[in-house]
Amino acid sequence: MSSPGPVGALSEDSNHSIRSLVQKSQDAREQAYCPYSKFRVGAAVLTSDGTVFTGCNVENASYPAGLCAEMTAISKAVSEGHTSFQAIAIASDLKDQYIFPCGVCRQFMREFGLEWDIYPTKSDGSYQTMTLDELLPHSFGPADLSARRNH
C-alpha cells in the first residue's frame, strides 16, 4: 500500500523511481573531479515535472573554490529553469556509511523549500529517506528576509 507522504515527495511505493534516482547518482559519481580528496560524490535531483539533473563534485587547486555534487546538480537544474524539486539522491564510495549532504549543501537545498526528500546512500545502493526539514531544522530561508524587523 502506498502512503501519502509529504507534498511533492515520492511515495513509499515509488521504490522503483527511488532506485533509478540512486542509480543515476552513482553514474554521476563516475564523473567526479576530485584529484585532491579522491572522495567521489555524485548526485541526482528529481524536479517536480520528473526531469532528472545529475552532478558530481568538482574540486579546485584553490581548495575552497571546489563544488559539491549536490550543488552542481541543483545549479544545473536551476540554470535550465527548474526550481521545484521532489527529491535528491547522493552517492559516494563509502561502504559502511551513508553519505549525508554537508551543511552548505543543506542550506543550498533549503532555498528551494523544505518539502523534498533526501536519499543518502551507501556504495551498495542502499538508501535512507529523510526530509530536508529533518536534516536542517529551524532553518533560515527566503521568507525570513521579509519577516517583521525592528530596523
Annotated catalytic residue within 70, 80, 111, 115: 70
Q: In the range 32-61, which residues lie near ligand THU by CB under 6 A? A: 34, 37, 39, 41, 57, 59
Does residue 140 touch ligand THU according to CB under 6 A? Answer: no
Nearer to ligand THU, 86 or 92 (CB): 92
Q: How far apart are CB 65 and ligand THU at their closest, in Å?
A: 11
Exactly one of 101, 112, 116, 135 binds ligand THU (CB under 6 A); which one? 101
Q: How far apart are CB 124 and ligand THU at their closest, in Å?
A: 19
30 is catalytic: no
How far, in Å, CA of 99 to CA of 101, rounded?
7
Nearer to ligand THU, 14 or 22 (CB): 22
Nearer to ligand THU, 9 or 120 (CB): 120
CA separation, residue 139 to residues 61, 97, 146 (Å) = 32, 25, 15
Closest to 125 in 3D by CA, of 55, 26, 39? 26
How far, in Å, CA of 146 to CA of 133, rounded?
20
Q: Applying CB under 6 A, what is the total number of residues that bind ligand THU?
A: 13
β-bridge mates for residue 117, sequence order: 87, 131
Rama region for 76: left / alpha / beta (φ>0; ψ in -120 to 50; rest):
alpha
Q: Which residues are catalytic?
A: 70
